[in-house]
Structure 1
Amino acid sequence: MNKLWGGRFLKSLDYNIELYLKSFSIDKFLFVYEIKVINAYTKCLFLNNYINYEEKLKIINSLCLIKKKIKNISAEDIHSYLEFELIKYNGDLGKKIYLGKSRNDQITTITKLMLLDEIEKIHILLIFIRKSIINLAETEYNSPVPGFTHLQIAQPITIGHYLLSWNEMLKRDHLNLLNCKKSLQYCPLGSAALSGHNYNINRNTIKKFLNFKNLTENSVDAVSDRDYIVMFAHFCNLIITHLSRISEDMIIWSNNNFDFLKLSDLISSGSSIMPQKKNPDLFELIRAKTGRIYGNSLSILTILKAQPLSYNKDNQEDKESLFDNIYTIKKTLNSFRKCLPILKFNKKNMYFSALKNYSTATDMADYLVKKGILFREAHKIVGNCVQYCEKNNINLFNISLNELKKFSNLFEKDVFYDLSIEGSIKNKNVYGGTSPNQVLKSIQRSRFFLNNIILKFK
Structure 2
Amino acid sequence: MSKLWTGRFSKETDALLDQLNASLPFDKRLYRQDIQGSMAHSKMLGKQGIISFEDQASIQSGLESILKDIESGMLVICNAEDIHSFVEQELTKRIGDAGKRLHTARSRNDQVALDLKLFTKEQVTILSDLILSMLQAFCTKSKEHLTTVMPGYTHLQRAQPVTVAHVWMAYANMLKRDHKRLMNALELMDEMPLGSGALAGTTYPIDRDYTCALLGFRCPTDNSMDGVSDRDYCMEIGNVCSILMMHLSRMCEEMILWCSGEFGFMELDDAFSTGSSIMPQKKNPDVCELIRGKTGRVYGDLMTLLTMQKGLSLAYNKDMQEDKEAFFDILDTTIHSMQVMIPMFETAVIHKEKMHQAALGGFINATDCADYLTKKGMPFRDAYKCVGQLVAYCIENKKALNDLTLTEFQKYSALFSEDVYTAIDLQTCLAQRKSLGGPAPEEVSRQIKKIEEFLSESGFHE
**TM-score of the superposition, structure 1-length normalised?**
0.97
Give yes or no for the alignment of 1:330 onto 2:320. no
Matching residue within 100, 103, 120 for 1:98:
103
In the TM superposition, what are the counterparts of 1:281-292 in structure 2 within 5 Å?
Answer: 281-292=286-297
Partner residue, 1:27:
27
- Who is 2:9 aligned against? 9
Structure 2 matches for 1:55-454, cutoff 5 A? Answer: 55-67=55-67, 68-69=69-70, 70-454=75-459
> Does the residue aligned with 2:274 lie in a helix, a strand or coil?
coil
Residue 260 of structure 1 contacts residue 346 of structure 1 at CA under 8 Å; is this kept in 2?
yes
Distance in 2 separating the partners of 1:205 and 1:263: 52
CA distance in 1, matches of 2:223, 2:52: 31
Q: Deviations over 1:29-59 (max 9, x none)?
A: 0011000001000110111011222221111
Native 8 Å contact 1:188 1:223 kept in 2: yes
Q: Aligned partner of 1:331: which letter?
A: H
Which amino acid letter does the alignment assign opposite residue 223 of structure 1? V
Residue 90 of structure 1 deviates from its aligned partner by 2.7
SS at match of 1:73: coil
Give the conservation status (yes or no) of the 8 Å contact 2:437–2:447.
Answer: yes
Q: Distance in 2 between matches of 1:237 and 1:145?
A: 30
Q: Secondary structure at the match of 1:454?
A: coil
Single out whichever of 157-166 and 402-411 deviates more from structure 2.
Answer: 402-411
Spell out, residue by residue over 1:252-300, the C-alpha distance to the aligned partner (whole angstroms, 9 max, x if none).
Answer: 1111111111232111111111111111111111111112111111111
Q: For residue 86 of structure 1, give the secondary structure of its aligned residue in structure 2.
A: helix
Could you say what secondary structure the match of 1:429 adopts? coil
What is the RMSD computed on CA atoms of the aligned residues?
1.5
Does 1:18 find its partner at 2:15? no
CA distance in 2, matches of 1:284, 1:5: 48
CA offsets per residue over residues 158-177 of structure 1, 9 Å max, x none? 11111111211111111121
What's the secondary structure of 1:318's corresponding residue?
helix
Equivalent position SS for 1:145: strand
Which whole-Å CA distance do the structure 2 matches of 1:431 and 1:72 have between them? 57
Residue 42 (1) aligns with residue 47 (2): no
Paired residue secondary structure (2:6): coil
Preserved contact between residue 257 and residue 263 of structure 2 (Cα < 8 Å)? yes
Which one is further off, 394-403 or 194-203? 394-403
**Aligned 8 A contact 1:140 1:160 in 2:** yes
Q: Give the match for residue 51 of structure 2.
A: 51
- Kindly provide the amino acid, as one letter, of the partner of residue 124 in structure 1: D
User: Secondary structure of 2:362's partner?
Assistant: coil
Deviates more, 1:122-131 or 1:148-157: 122-131
Amino acid at match of 1:373: M
Could you tell me which amino acid in structure 2 is paired with residue 166 of structure 1? Y
Point out the more displaced range, 75-84 or 41-50: 75-84
Residue 311 (structure 1) shift? 0.8
> In 1, are the aligned partners of 2:135 and 2:175 still within 8 Å (CA)?
yes
Counterparts of 2:132 and 2:196 in 1: how far apart (Å)? Answer: 36
Q: Does the residue aligned with 2:459 lie in a helix, a strand or coil? A: helix
- Which range moves more in the overlay, 66-75 or 192-201? 66-75
Q: Is the 8 A contact 1:175 1:453 kept in 2?
A: no
Residue pair 1:360, 1:419 contacting (<8 A) in 2 also: yes
Partner secondary structure for residue 157 of structure 1: strand
Distance, in Å, in 2 between the alignment partners of 1:71 and 1:355 is 64
Q: CA deviation at 1:65?
A: 1.5
Aligned to 1:349, what secondary structure does the other structure show?
Answer: helix
Structure 1 pair 334–38 and aligned structure 2 pair: CA distance change class (3 A): same
Identical residues among aligned pairs (%): 39
Q: In the alignment, is the contact (CA less than 8 A) between 1:188 and 1:215 conserved in 2?
A: yes
Q: Counterpart of 1:332 in structure 2: which amino acid?
A: S
* Superposed CA offset, 1:301-349 (max 9, x none): 1111111111100110111111111211121111111112211111011
Distance, in Å, in 1 between the alignment partners of 2:86 and 2:197 is: 19
2:58/2:98 contact within 8 Å kept: no
Asked if the contact 1:154–1:359 (Cα under 8 Å) also holds between the matched residues in 2, the reply is: yes
* Larger displacement relative to structure 2 (110-119 or 7-16): 7-16
- Checking the alignment, whether the CA contact within 8 Å between 2:50 and 2:204 is kept in structure 1 is no
Contact 2:142 2:165 in 1 (8 A): yes
What secondary structure, in the 3-state scheme, does the structure 2 residue paired with 1:274 have? coil
Q: Secondary structure at the match of 2:161?
A: strand
Distance 2:181 2:232 in 1: 14
Any unmatched runs of 5+ in structure 1?
A: none
| Deviation of the 1:72 alpha carbon | 4.8
Whole-Å separation in 1 of the counterparts to 2:293 and 2:321: 27
Residues 431 and 440, structure 2, Cα contact 8 Å, conserved in 1: yes
Q: CA–CA distance in 2 between the matches of 1:345 and 1:378?
A: 35
- The alignment's TM-score, normalised by the length of structure 2, stands at 0.96
